[in-house]
Structures are given as C-alpha cells and as structure tokens.
Amino acid sequence: MTRAYSISVEDVAAERERVDQDLSQVDVSRVIKLDELELAEMGASDVRLRILAVSAEHNVDHAALADTVNIAELRGGKIYPGNSAVGEVIAVGSEVTRFKPGEIVLTHCNGAPDRFGFPKVIWAYDKPDSTGWYGEEAVVGDWQIVPAPLDCGLNLWEIAALPLRAPTAYHLWRRADGIFRVKVPEERLGTLNVMGFGGGVSELFLMLAKARGHNAFFCSGSAERRDALEAQGIAPIDQKAFNRFASRDDSKAFVKEVRGLTGGEGMHIVCDMLRGPLFNAGFAACAREGVIVSAGWQLTRDVEYNSAAASIKQITLDHTHYETLEGVEAATELYGSVFKPTIHSEIYAFEDLPRAMAEMHANTQTGIPIIRVAKEMPDAAAALVP
Ligand SMILES: NC(=O)c1ccc[n+]([C@@H]2O[C@H](COP(=O)([O-])OP(=O)(O)OC[C@H]3O[C@@H](n4cnc5c(N)ncnc54)[C@H](OP(=O)(O)O)[C@@H]3O)[C@@H](O)[C@H]2O)c1
C-alpha cells in the first residue's frame, strides 16, 4: 500500500451539491483526498518508483470539477490522478535493461500511442486501470519513464515542472511551425511573430519560439509571470489591460495593440490553451496565413469562428494533444537550454497538495506549482534542491 491522492465520484457529487451546482464556487481541495492505493504487482518489464516531486496539473482541476467530462465516473467511480513526476527507481523487473535502482527519472503521460505515436489516452486520466503519481510510490512500465537530465542546469523543482508541460509545448511548436511553413517558406519570411496566452505550456512554447529566433509575445494577466518571461526576451502584453477580452471594445483595443507591436502584421502563430474569450482575441490578432494551435480547453471546449474569414485570411486552426515517445525524449533534451520554467514561490508539502490545486484553480500562483513528495531526497536529487 502507498499513500496517494484520489478523486471519487462521491466527492465530486458532494462538492457540487454543497455549492448548488455552481461550478464557480467549487473548492477543489474538498474533492482531492489523501487516500491509500494498492500498487500493481511488479511485472518483468515494470519499474517501481519512489516519487520525489510532482507538479500540479490542470487536468486534475478538470477531474475535480467534472466540467468537461466526469472522468471519475467514466473510470468506474474513482481515479488516482497525477501525470507528471520526478521519481527515484527503487526496483526493476527481470527484463528491464534501461534503468537500474538509484536512477532519477521523469514520467510521461502518453498512455497508449496510436500507430503514429500520438496518445490515444492519457496515463492516470482516461487510460483504463492506470494510477497516477500524486502518491509516494508507483509501479510503471519501463516505457513510461525517461532519465532525468540532472546536469541540465535546472534545479529539482524546475525539472519537476516540465514532464507534462514541456512535451506538450514542444509538440505544439513543431506542429505550428510545420503548418506555417507549408504556407510560407523560410526564405519568404524568416522571423515570425508568435503569441501565447497565460499558462505554463504557453510560456514554454514561447521559450522555444524565442530560441528559434522569432519575436515572442506573452499575453498574460500575471505581472510576475510576464516579468519572468520578459527577463528571457519575451515581450509582455498585459491581458488585464484589455479586461481579458470581456467586451468587443476590449478585443478591438487588443487587436490595435497587436498591430502596433508587430508593425501592422499581426501574429503568425498563436498558442491558445484556454479558449473562451481568448479564442476570438487570438483569431482577430492573427496575421494572414496565421496558425492557431491548442492542446487545451481550460475555459471552454467549444469555439465558434467565421469560416469565410479564416479562408480568406488563410488561417489554420490545429488541435494537438500530448507528444509521441520520441517527442518526449526530444523535449527533455531542451530542459535548461530552452525550457527555463517559472516556479511558484511556495514549494508545497505533500499534505498540502489539495491547497496547491485550489490555489491553481483560483489563479493566484506566480508560476508552475510544485509539490515535494519525498521528505528525504536521494543524494543526486538533494544536490539540486535550491
Ligand atoms: N493536451 C495536453 O497534453 C495538455 C498538457 C498540459 C495542459 N493542458 C491543458 O491546457 C490548459 C492550460 O494548461 P497549463 O498547464 O498551461 O496551465 P497553467 O500553467 O495552470 O496556467 C493556467 C493559466 O490560465 C490563465 N487563466 C486562468 N483563468 C483565466 C481566465 N479567466 N481568463 C484568462 N486566462 C486565465 C492564467 O494566465 P494569466 O497569467 O493570464 O493569469 C494561468 O496562468 C489546461 O486546460 C490544461 O488541462 C493540456
């Protein structure tokens, strides 16, 4: 048995009842509960991990709210969430050759690659029988982990921020860039204008764009997060100056600002992980031949757009999900050199994970939230604790 957090259909229903089905009043810390989990028997190609640190991920918020789907119900009544972790290998099955006890590794959440490598389901979310990593120990297949790049220059918390968000950002970038280049080759336009809205994935996406020599713009409501990106050469746009696009006039003023910042051109690539009012703002801010990519739907799932305008401006919308296994390895190579994540000021204790999730939900954190799971760190990881 190990201690692990769970989300049960009863707790989701009880909290919804408490707030009279008003999702804006849900306290997710009342839904995510510290529980016990019987770990799976170790198979020949399995690895047993001691979890060292995890990051809070937004799909756990979606699971607790049951706002997109009621995943706890679909999974038979309960899920054990958490699909991003840094762990120490403590035992390996007889056929495991890539890893040995004592190694520090990262998990990835591609739960079942399709024939081209893209995830059909996500580990600890919709993958049947999968249990997540918001726990003290875990048993995973050896294909589910990659070596942690301990000498990449990042500290342990920064490394823990990346296993889910960096591969997502990497995939979004290679799709957006590839699609734009089908339309406009590099010799016609070398430097692109790239914009992302607030959030950890978008921040990493912009770091990639910047590293590839493009003009990057971060449109966020958080002054701390804008400042952190500005220090990396990514230009800030204060989303709250445009009231998060609440009215038509706000959106018009935003588009005017974008035209001013880009010499009248607009954004060639937009990363929109939130949708809702941000989708329309991103669409309006697009340059001709622009590409809008998304792997998220934090505010709404559904979008509506003027298809004629999209055709006439040659705008492409693309929908992505998590990376392939090869893409995960490639994204991990960029830790420290390209990906330098912003971390929330508090590192949460394991027992405070529900509060970390509630503060994420309330959007009060100044960077990616990290939870320290292991009190005692192995030497290799302890050396990276700031
Ligand atoms: N498909 C995948 O593989 C995948 C992977 C990772 C994430 N996701 C999804 O993508 C979404 C974003 O994830 P993330 O990890 O980047 O998020 P995150 O780091 O938790 O950041 C969320 C951001 O949302 C913004 N926000 C919150 N409320 C808002 C509002 N009312 N209006 C406008 N902006 C608001 C905040 O930006 P400000 O700075 O503007 O306040 C905040 O920084 C989530 O829905 C998540 O589930 C999908």
Question: Average pLDDT in the 201-225 region?
Answer: 97
User: Does the domain spanning 167-319 belong to CATH 1.10.3720.10?
Assistant: no
Q: How confident is the model at residue 289 (pLDDT cuts 50, 70, 90)?
A: very high
Residue of the nearest CA to atom 34 in ligand 1? 198
Task: Give the ligand 1 atom nearest the CA of 197.
Answer: 40
CA of 296 to the centre of ligand 1 (A): 8
**Residues 6 or more apart from 335 whose CB is under 8 A from it?**
149, 152, 154, 159, 162, 166
CA of 59 to the centre of ligand 1 (A): 10
Side-chain half-sphere CA neighbours of 280 within 13 A: 17
Q: How confident is the model at residue 269 (pLDDT cuts 50, 70, 90)?
A: very high
Q: How confident is the model at residue 114 (pLDDT cuts 50, 70, 90)?
A: very high
Q: How confident is the model at residue 231 (pLDDT cuts 50, 70, 90)?
A: very high
Residue of the nearest CA to atom 31 in ligand 1? 299
pLDDT score recorded for residue 145: 97
Q: Could you read off the pLDDT of 13-51 as tens digits, one per residue?
A: 999 999 999 999 999 999 999 999 999 999 999 999 999
Task: Give the ligand 1 atom nearest the CA of 278.
Answer: 33
Task: Please state the domain extents for the chain.
Answer: 2-164+341-382, 167-319
CATH assignment of 2-164+341-382, among 3.90.1200.10, 3.90.1150.200, 3.60.20.10, 3.90.180.10? 3.90.180.10
Pocket test for ligand 1, best of 57, 60, 201, 251 (most atoms within 8 A of CB): 201
**Pick from 190, 247, 257, 252: which is nearest to 219 by CA?**
257
pLDDT score recorded for residue 198: 87
Q: Could you read off the pLDDT of 121-134 as tens digits, one per residue?
A: 999 999 998 999 99
pLDDT score recorded for residue 241: 98
Question: Average pLDDT in the 372-376 region?
Answer: 97
pLDDT score recorded for residue 68: 83
CA of 138 to the centre of ligand 1 (A): 27
On the question of pLDDT at 113 being above 90, the answer is yes
Residue of the nearest CA to atom 42 in ligand 1? 199
CA of 273 to the centre of ligand 1 (A): 6
Q: How confident is the model at residue 97 (pLDDT cuts 50, 70, 90)?
A: very high
Q: How confident is the model at residue 67 (pLDDT cuts 50, 70, 90)?
A: confident
Question: Average pLDDT in the 87-104 region?
Answer: 97
Residues with CB under 6 A from ligand 1: 58-59, 62, 164-165, 168, 198-202, 220-222, 225, 239, 244, 273-274, 278, 295-296, 298-299, 321-322, 360, 363, 368
Question: Average pLDDT in the 261-268 region?
Answer: 98
Percentage of residues in the chain having pLDDT higher than 70: 100
Q: Please state, in angstroms and as integers, the Cα–Cα distance from residue 190 to each residue in 26, 30, 193, 287, following that order.
A: 47, 50, 10, 15
Q: Could you read off the pLDDT of 153-201 as tens digits, one per residue?
A: 999 999 999 999 999 999 999 999 999 999 999 999 999 999 999 899 9
Rg (CA), the chain: 21
Task: Give the ligand 1 atom nearest the CA of 57.
Answer: 15
Burial 159-174 (b: 16+ CB within 10 A, else e): bbbbbbbbbbbbbbbb
Pocket test for ligand 1, best of 203, 298, 360, 370 (most atoms within 8 A of CB): 298
Work out the mean pLDDT of the chain and round it to a whole number. 96
pLDDT score recorded for residue 98: 95
Q: Which residues pair with 105 in a beta bridge?
A: 87, 147
Pocket test for ligand 1, best of 168, 273, 325 (most atoms within 8 A of CB): 273
CA of 183 to the centre of ligand 1 (A): 29
Query: Is 384 in contact with 155 (CB distance < 8 Å)?
Result: yes
Task: Give the ligand 1 atom nearest the CA of 321.
Answer: 1
pLDDT score recorded for residue 165: 97
Query: Is 246 in contact with 281 (CB distance < 8 Å)?
Result: no
DSSP state, 222? -
Token pair, residue 366, equals 């100044």
User: Residue 87 is inside which H or E element, if any?
Assistant: strand 85-92
